[in-house]
Amino acid sequence: MATLPHEMTIEILLRLSVKDLLRFKCVSKPWCSSIDDPDFIKLHLSHSVKTNTNHSLILRHCEYHFFSVNYDSLKTTQRLNHPLGEQKTPIKILGTCNGLLAVIDDNGRIFLWNPSTRKSQVLPSTEIEFSSPSIFFPRSTYYGFGYDPISDDYKLVRMVQVHGKNNSYLHSEAKVYSLRSNCWRRIKDFCFYLILHRKFGILANNALHWMVFKTPQSWKQNLVGFDLGTEEFRFLELPDLCLDKLFCYDIKAMGGYNCLTATFRDSNDVVAEVWIMKEYGVKESWVKLISWNQPHLLTCFPSVVVVPLAFSKNGDKVLFSSDVHTNFGKWYNLRDKFVWYYLWGERVEKVEIRGIPTSFDVHFCVESLVPIN
């Protein structure tokens, strides 16, 4: 029986899902070797990103139950086994990148986890290198997780800041964990303020992004980016918005771009706007992608807002979810509030997914073979 040329075999394997590839490793030693090859893993990931295939929604319910939903079908959920197994310990997702999730448990332990391969690794701990004052001051901790293509390394960023009333005490530090070296190191300090208790960075254009404040008294949030290659911070200008309206806004990543979502009340309607930064770092490149009147979804605004998750496979629509703000300062999604928004016809279509929990937070993730160790 004739065998396929190696190049043709690779082309076929590139088009398969991670689940199928893991099963086909048992076909033969050459197939196993090809699938485990670092170059093939990068090619498969690149093909998935380029063709917008092999993506899933990761749902976190009750802080320690995880589910995945295949993005191509959006039909049913699949239970995921997280790194802590059956332990009912709260786990938060710090960030996702190339199929890897950075998660933290209630004890401060941080894991890198690939749900597709079911591999995980606990990260070494690192202390805060400044001493806290004898009296209590609030602490803010911001995280971000991403990949630096220049050094071919996955990095986790942690910023910590403690500040007292009227700046009577202020200290901060920034550290970066490198998967390649498996260690933390301190980097140059940052010159902005972290007001919220905890915030997670958004990855786009090989940089992590957070909404921060330039001064402790400022009411206006600013967008700051951290270049994963140079490991330097920079401010990015936001589009001009009508600040006389009540806005709920946040930064997201969608289609590889920075994405600003702004929700506000206009007369009796609630309007959601989605802006895309087409050219990174250029204020004039912000383009309003969507302006959507949605009173039927947001009768409880500002307690409920809609959030864009991702473009469809062919790019003609955007998947939205509804986020609910609880009295405890947390955001959760509503089970029956996934909708497709059609960009050209401005039509809305409800999405029915069987087996999803009543409330959850959601992350858009590509499935990959990327190893952790």
Instruction: Tell me the three state secondary structure of residue 18.
Output: helix
Lowest mean pLDDT, pick from 142-151, 192-201, 298-307: 298-307
Mean pLDDT (the chain) is 85
Domains of the chain: 6-46 (no CATH), 47-366 (2.120.10)
274-299: string of b/e by CB count within 10 Å (b at 16+)? bbbbeeeeeeeebeebbebebeebbe
pLDDT tens digits along 198-219: 789 999 999 999 999 888 777 7
Instruction: Tell me the three state secondary structure of residue 226.
Output: strand
Greatest Cα-to-Cα distance within the chain, rounded to the nearest angstrom: 79
Q: What is the dihedral of CA 175, 178, 183, 186, to 10 degrees?
A: -20
Residue 115 has pLDDT above 90, yes or no: yes
Distances, alpha carbon 269 to alpha carbons 233, 265, 319, in Å:
38, 6, 21
**Peptide linkage before 302 cis (omega within 30 of 0):** yes
Please give the pLDDT value at position 331.
46
pLDDT tens digits along 233-248: 999 999 887 555 556 7
Average pLDDT in the 308-320 region? 91
Q: How far is Cα 300 from Cα 323, in angstroms, rounded to an integer?
A: 11
Inter-residue contact 120 to 111 (CB < 8 Å): yes
Q: How far is Cα 130 from Cα 173, in angstroms, rounded to an integer?
A: 8
Residue 305 has pLDDT above 80, yes or no: no
Q: How far is Cα 248 from Cα 265, in angstroms, rounded to an integer?
A: 10
Please give the pLDDT value at position 335.
47
Beta pairing partners, 185:
176
- Cβ-in-10-Å burial (0-12, 13-18, 19+) of 268 comes to exposed
Q: What is the dihedral of CA 233, 236, 242, 247, to 10 degrees?
A: -40
With bands split at pLDDT 50, 70 and 90, how would you rate the model's confidence at 110? Answer: very high
With bands split at pLDDT 50, 70 and 90, how would you rate the model's confidence at 131? Answer: low
Lowest mean pLDDT, pick from 224-233, 259-268, 272-281: 259-268
Who has greater pLDDT, 160 or 305?
160
With bands split at pLDDT 50, 70 and 90, how would you rate the model's confidence at 141? Answer: very high
Q: How far is Cα 11 from Cα 16, in angstroms, rounded to an integer?
A: 10
pLDDT tens digits along 74-109: 988 899 988 877 767 888 999 999 999 999 998 899
Beta pairing partners, 310:
319
pLDDT tens digits along 320-353: 887 665 443 444 445 457 889 999 887 888 888 8
Contacts of 33 (CB under 8 A, 6+ apart): none
Who has greater pLDDT, 120 or 132?
120
Instruction: Determine the straight-line distance between the first and last CA of the chain, rounded to whole angstroms.
Output: 38
For the chain, the C-alpha Rg in angstroms (whole number) is 21
